[in-house]
Structure 1
Amino acid sequence: MAETLNQQHHADDHHDEDVHDANYQAPPEKTIEEIMAADQEDESLRRYKEALLGAAQAEKIIVEPNDPRKVIVKKLALVVEGRDDMELDLTGDISQLKQQVFVIKEGVQYKVRIDFIVQREIVHGLKYVQKTYRMSLPVDKMAHMVGSYPPKKEIQNYLTPPEEAPSGMISRGTYSVSSVFTDDDKHIHLKWDWTFEIKKDWE
């Protein structure tokens, strides 16, 4: 992230075009039953799919019956070694998340963790995209392939590789972030904005 702060980026008003490759064609969506029925003659592949899908093949896993979504994003956390995780609850009014400002010490290594539930069907090619702005100008973008996940009763999570917070007096200040959790089929499972502030030290 620090390397990109001094680079000039063109403003981009088409966030969804950034998230998805226009030339990419996602594979056709299949149910768990269809996935299990395919390639039955390949013993090693059959066993692999059984291990991947686990109990999902035996029953339709529905964690939150009143929510029709396959992917329910529950929480975002900033993870810094030696400190308690800083968490954002994504299950409430996400329009208010900008009011909760994370303070990050300059130059520190941190990771982003996303907690989510997958229910009803397997989800393919989950992706997390995060764009960071300062005074409305883009300064950084990260995009991570999260992977394919079967439905489970437990919360699943994804942890990004380490990022380094910018350092130096010029880098201190408030940053706004736009995050998107999407997949191969171009479903936007959740899109939210949040804020962090780079300071000389922790508060």
Structure 2
Amino acid sequence: MTEKIDDQELQTSTTPGYNPGEKKTLDEYAQLDSNDESLNKWKASLGIGAGAANENGPKIEFISLSLESATRPEPIVFNFAELEGKKEHIKKNPVSIKEGTEYNVKLDFKVNHDVISGLRYVQVVKRTGMTVDKMEEMVGSYGPSQNPYEKRFATEESPSGMLARGTYSVRSRIVDDDGHIYVDFDWAFKISKEW
């Protein structure tokens, strides 16, 4: 049985005094300080400038969220293109995670025709009605690119021991500085002796 994770628990932290500023278009960014050669090179590296943007598709496409471990031959992968039709399945069928194992979470995504600022990954984990973990990772700010971006989060270790074994409910969300939610889904995992 999966547990409901409230929207309030997925709120991102804020930095006092930080203001993300006014949203600008790619053309507006390209025109800013256009006579500064070093700034123009930096903007080009972000995909800002003439011909750099891919105008097709959504402004950002999330490809996959993966859990990788050196002790597992294949990563556990949530493919976002297939996620919509499988939401109930992944919620009710927990993935197995070996206890006491180091792992990394990896996010693959592509930015098409906008600058995305302050992208964050937030995850809340519950067991028997109690929140046992909240992870908030800054993914960063990105400009358009023909190639996908890859973000790896810090290595973590799964809990171990008899009391840690069991099923956990998870809700994952990807949000930006403007509060726009790109991905929001529930899933579950089971801590066990083996993968």
Give yes or no for the alignment of 1:124 onto 2:117: yes
Amino acid across the alignment from 2:27: E
Report how far residue 152 of structure 1 moved. Answer: 2.4
How many residue pairs end up in the alignment?
Answer: 186
Give yes or no for the alignment of 1:48 onto 2:38: no
Q: Give the whole-Å Cα distance in 1 for the aligned partners of 2:55 and 2:71.
A: 36
- The structure 1 segments of at least 4 consecutive aligned residues displaced by more than 4 Å after TM superposition are none
The answer on whether the counterparts of 2:71 and 2:101 sit within 8 Å (CA) in structure 1 is no
Amino acid across the alignment from 2:37: E
Amino acid across the alignment from 2:133: D
| Range that drifts further, 101-110 or 36-45 | 36-45
Summarize the Cα distance change of 1:70–1:169 in structure 2 as closer, same or farther, 3 Å threshold: same
Which residues of structure 1 form unaligned runs of 5+?
A: 1-10
Report how far residue 33 of structure 1 moved. Answer: 1.5
Out of 57, 64, 71, which is 1:75 matched to? 64
Q: Give the whole-Å Cα distance in 2 for the aligned partners of 1:192 and 1:99.
A: 12
Report how far residue 99 of structure 1 moved. Answer: 3.1
Summarize the Cα distance change of 1:93–1:34 in structure 2 as closer, same or farther, 3 Å threshold: same
Show CA shifts across 1:159-183 (max 9, x none): 1111110011100111111111011
Show CA shifts across 1:178-200 (max 9, x none): 11101111100111111111012
Summarize the Cα distance change of 1:27–1:186 in structure 2 as closer, same or farther, 3 Å threshold: same
Residue correspondence of structure 1 range 15-30 to structure 2 within 5 A: 15-16=9-10, 18-21=11-14, 24-30=18-24
Summarize the Cα distance change of 1:195–1:63 in structure 2 as closer, same or farther, 3 Å threshold: farther
The answer on whether the counterparts of 1:32 and 1:57 sit within 8 Å (CA) in structure 2 is no
How well do the aligned residues superpose, as a CA RMSD in angstroms? 2.2
Q: Give the whole-Å Cα distance in 2 for the aligned partners of 1:155 and 1:59.
A: 14
Q: Give the whole-Å Cα distance in 2 for the aligned partners of 1:33 and 1:106.
A: 50
Amino acid across the alignment from 2:85: D
TM-score normalised by L of structure 2? 0.85
Out of 134, 138, 141, which is 1:141 matched to? 134
- Equivalent in the alignment of 1:160: 153
Q: Give the whole-Å Cα distance in 2 for the aligned partners of 1:30 and 1:53.
A: 14
Q: Give the whole-Å Cα distance in 2 for the aligned partners of 1:123 and 1:104.
A: 32
- Equivalent in the alignment of 1:191: 184
The answer on whether the counterparts of 1:94 and 1:192 sit within 8 Å (CA) in structure 2 is no
Question: How much identity, in percent, do the aligned residues show?
Answer: 36
